[in-house]
Chain A
Amino acid sequence: MKNEQGGRQKRWFPEFMKRFAPPGMDTDRQVNGYLTGLFLMLLFSVDYFVRYQNAWRGLFYWPEEGEKILIPGVVMPDFSELLGESLRGFFLYCLILLAAVVWNYLYYYQGSRSIYLMKRLPNPMERHKRAWVLPLLAVGVTLLAAFVVLVLYYEFYMIVTPKQCIAPGQWHKIWR
């Protein structure tokens, strides 16, 4: 079965979503690219665990034999400090996604002047809808993913770190 671009049908991308993309744009490829980017940002954020592990090891005295011993009075560095720049990739990615809006507008000048058709549609918002909706949706999903990652990393910090080593007000310190 062929899709509207004349290529092979990919079933997983909802057909109705194509109404929010420039006509004929290969949305399946776009989504694949988007998901790959999101995955890379997720990988980039994993350096949090490297910093966490180093800090966590510093909480203990490690005898050559026997179990590790928690150093009395030691305090774990704040979560926000360990988080560092781990989520910055998501925000940079959002900026790249907004650049897709420009790409969507330029689409109508590629290979033809379909801009002439878009400019004479009875619904003047159609061109803008097809330029903005999907990139904004992608930005929304990216920000949501960043928040989910933040919550997961925070929960990991709170669960794995010995209670007595956690300074109070960790969640609030993130937003300072």
Chain B
Amino acid sequence: MLEIKNVKKIYPGGTVALKDVSLTIPRGEIVGLFGENGAGKTTLMKSILGFLHYKGEITLDGEPVTTKNIAKISFATCEHSFFPNLTAKGHAEFYREQFGSFSEKRFEGLMDFFELPKNKALRSFSAGQKNQFEVILALSQGADYILMDEPFAGNDVFNREDFYKVLLGILEPTETVILSTHLIEEVSGFIGRAVLIRKGEIVGDVSMEQLEEEGRSLMDYIKETYHYQADRVSKAVSLISGEE
């Protein structure tokens, strides 16, 4: 279980990125993390990974995140965390060396499925292939908690569709996924729970099951929670064009 208790993060300069965030994510959940740009999604993920100093407490199966248990978390980011000059095969060797639970089978299977070249340096991959490879590494590390920060930015819809299907097919019941994305409607069939973050605060936390029972879509829920003003576009257009 991943437990986040009263986490606060203030960047140098005084920007408050996280305000007293508390969240509990049990094993086996697929959680969508939604919020506008700058809402604190990436900061939250980086805090979980221990990349940032923060106030509060984050524990993984009851233990603070340290080098002893960090291998339980993997991370796929749109910034990419692979080595651009290394081949896919070289990455597999590196992961095998560093992470005892690296899944060769999953890596090979996903590489074959997405038809990615194994002996080419990552820098020569297309943008879509780079994203795919980033996610493949995160899924193959053998981690219990897989954090994904907008991993499909730049991928076409077919690629993304394939990925969701494969993900649902290969994930073990104990594997937890936290997926930060703007592709709300696309992932609504894939996630089990949606967490909304706004200006560093958790403003919504709902299971997809609950939404289904209430007959609401994820998009409606997000709009309601964010107090989305449906007429703001028409107002802006009127203002800019000078029409009544």
Chain A interfacial positions (CB closer than 8 Å to B): 2, 4-7, 22-26, 110-117, 119-124, 126
Contacts and interface: CB of A to CB of B under 8 A. Distances in A.
Contacts of A122: 67-68, 70-71, 98-99
Contact of B83 (A23, A119, A123): A23
B121 A5 contact: yes
Interface of B: 49-51, 67-68, 70-71, 73, 75, 77, 79-87, 89-91, 93-94, 98-99, 119-124
Contacts of A26: 85
A120 B70 contact: yes
Contacts of B98: 121-123, 126
A7 to B, nearest CB: 8
Contacts of A123: 67, 98
B77 A114 contact: no
Contacts of A110: 84
A116 B81 contact: yes
Interface centre among B49, B83, B122 (most CB of A within 10 A): B83
B89 A4 contact: yes
Given A6-B121, A122-B99, A112 B81 contact: yes
Given A23-B91, A114-B80, A122-B68, 15 more contacts: A2-B119, A4-B89, A5-B85, A6-B120, A112-B84, A113-B79, A114-B81, A117-B83, A119-B50, A119-B51, A122-B70, A122-B71, A122-B98, A123-B67, A123-B98
A26 B85 CA distance: 8
Nearest to A122: B71
Contacts of B85: 5-6, 24-26, 111
Nearest to B67: A124
